[in-house]
Structure formats: C-alpha cells, structure tokens
Amino acid sequence: MAQKAAKSLAARNASTLTRTHLIALALHTIYLVLHFTFNRPRSLKPYLLLAGPTLVIEFYLERLGRPRYTDDGNLRTPGEDLGATGLTEYMWDVVYWTWGCMASVCLFNDRAWWLWIVVPLYSVWLAYTTFTGMKSGFAGMGGGRSEEPAVAGGESKRQKKLEKRGGQKMQYR
C-alpha cells in the first residue's frame, strides 16, 4: 500500500500518454495517406506549421508526465499530473483542437486549417479577461475608480438600503 497515490498517478499518466500517442499517430497517418494517395494540390506547409506545435507539445507532455522506474521495476517518479489546471490544461486544449482541425482537413479540404485561428483568439480572450479581472480586483484598493462618488455622510449603499426598508438606523457618536 506504500505510494498508492503515486502508483495510481503513474498508471493514469501512462494510459493517457499511450492513448494520446495512438490518436496522434492515427490522425497524422490518415492525413499523410490522403495527401499522397489522392495527390491533392496541397502543400504540406500548413500541416507542418499548424501540426508541428502539437507534436512539440506532445513531446513536452511525454517528458513531463511519463512515469520513471528504477532498474528493479520500482516506481522512481510518477511524473507530473497531466490533468492539472493552468498551462497543462491549455496545452491539452491546443492538442485536442489541432486534432479536430486535422480531422476537418481530412474530411473537407485545406481551408479547414483556418479553424486553427480559434487558438490564438482564445488566448487573447483569456488574457483580456484575466487583465480586466485583476483591474476590477484592484478597484477596491484604490487602484481603480469606483462607479459612484463617495457619499458625503459616510453611509454605504447597504446602510441606505437598510434605512429605506425601515431597519435600524446607524447612530454615530
């Protein structure tokens, strides 16, 4: 029962990586077979340009998450959690989206590579929402302007609402 969590993480990572590599191999093989057998008037430039980063990401995830064992078969390191949030999650999104674009290109034509433009647009949107979230977070600390000017009497909105409903009136000493 020693290292049960590490062993389960290692097994989960190994199965995820194996599945990822098999799907990638199948998609790339189908694309290349269709490209060379039907002799389509296409260049391999979009394929290399847009599928190349996915191969780099897969190599990185392989190095990051592959469990390592000692010579006698004991688990040395289970690898990093491939289901982690943050950058790892974003890399999986890029891999899955590229797979979808490759499948679309196989079914339709090279114009389906334009679907890949969603990835940088999504990155820009995430950066924008993060920035605006930080900006509104700093608003309460004097970093941003409040929407209403300060009340002369020092009453907050909550106090005004309570007084309007007939609740307790604040008494200042």
> Domain limits of the chain?
4-120
What's the pLDDT at 158?
A: 81
| pLDDT tens-place string over residues 143-173 | 445 555 555 566 788 878 877 887 665 566 6
Distance CA 160, CA 162 (A): 5
Segments of the chain with pLDDT less than 70: 1-2, 39-42, 139-154, 167-173
